[in-house]
Amino acid sequence: MGSESKHDEKTRVLVVGATGYIGKRIVRACLAEGHETYVLQRPEIGLDVEKVQLILSFKKLGAHIVEASFSDHQSLVSAVKLVDVVVSAMSGVHFRSHNILVQLKLVEAIKEAGNVKRFLPSEFGMDPPRMGHALPPGRETFDQKMEVRQAIEAAGIPYTYVVGACFAAYFVGNLSQMVTLLPPKEKVNIYGDGNVKVVFADEDDIAKYTAKTLNDPRTLNKTVNIRPPNNVLTQLELVQIWEKLTGNELEKTNISAKDFLTNIEQMEIPHQAGIGHFYHIFYEGCLTDHEVGEDEEASSLYPDVKYKRMVDYLRMFL
């Protein structure tokens, strides 16, 4: 009886930040995984027609809509009482909206509700405890994520932290060039010697891993690293994949760390944050400078996810 009844019961998941860049993918992945999926709709949505239509599309796919507001604690408590797992995908990038600390209100609600079996806060990037040395203002992202983690752990809420890869749309199509999302035609900037290993992942795969790990007993109170072996590449290797696909060699300019960080103080804050993050990824190698065991790596935990290789990702741009 035991295992069968567990199998028939769907895991109920609430996605917060469901209309966002990663959030909408997590909603679809949870539905595809067969979870009973709830989407938080906030009154602040106002006249944001894109978000409203996205939420209606989730409803059509079988998601339940739950109304709650971050300015109404009780509404959040009621929302989280409906589910077993809460996944947050609230934005943590400076050039969009930076909402990491809003999650503290979610932690309070989960703590009061007392029924949530697991909380996955908004992570999906560099591993914050490893980023204590990060450059300002970009370090705010890590400091705030740490503040949220500390609150989760202090409240005794079970968790899984999903970390560790560059989003393909922001780092791959553009061959990791800043301020564009499309491949360069003639010239490409190479960070340092271009030989630092970086991890890239398709955002849909990140969502699939998230949907699979959220009720996996193996990942309870653990950090899951997204580090698919075929997608651990240097910037130079990425550029070479593109050159091979196009048959066109790009003119390369190597940028020293010193030059990369020159005049950073004079830039707009979001750009400063971006420069700092790129520096840690491409010069320091913060995504790959530490060992990750197979039991904490997504592609080995979930080999059934046929993750997208970056050569296939780049083919979209041909």
CA distance 280 to 285: 6
Cis amide linkage into residue 121, ω under 30° from 0: no
Burial class from Cβ neighbours inside 10 Å (0-12, 13-18, 19+) for residue 166 reads buried
Instruction: At 65, list the tokens.
Output: 């809509």
Q: Which residue has the tokens 């067969």?
A: 34
| Cβ contact 85:120 at 8 Å | yes
Give 198's DSSP letter. E
Burial class from Cβ neighbours inside 10 Å (0-12, 13-18, 19+) for residue 147 reads middle
CA distance 184 to 179: 11
CA distance 309 to 232: 10
Cross-strand partners of 198: 233
For the chain, the residue count is 318
Q: Which residue has the tokens 């809003």?
A: 102
CA distance 64 to 1: 29
Phi then psi dihedrals of residue 245, to 5 deg = -65, -40
Strands (DSSP E) along 30-117, which ranges? Answer: 36-41, 64-67, 85-88
258 an active-site residue? no
Q: Assign 133 to helix, strand or coil.
A: coil
Q: What's the Rg (C-alpha) of the chain?
A: 20
145, 208, 212, 308: which is the annotated catalytic residue? 145
Residues 6+ apart with CB under 8 A from 54: 18, 19, 24
Residues marked as catalytic: 145
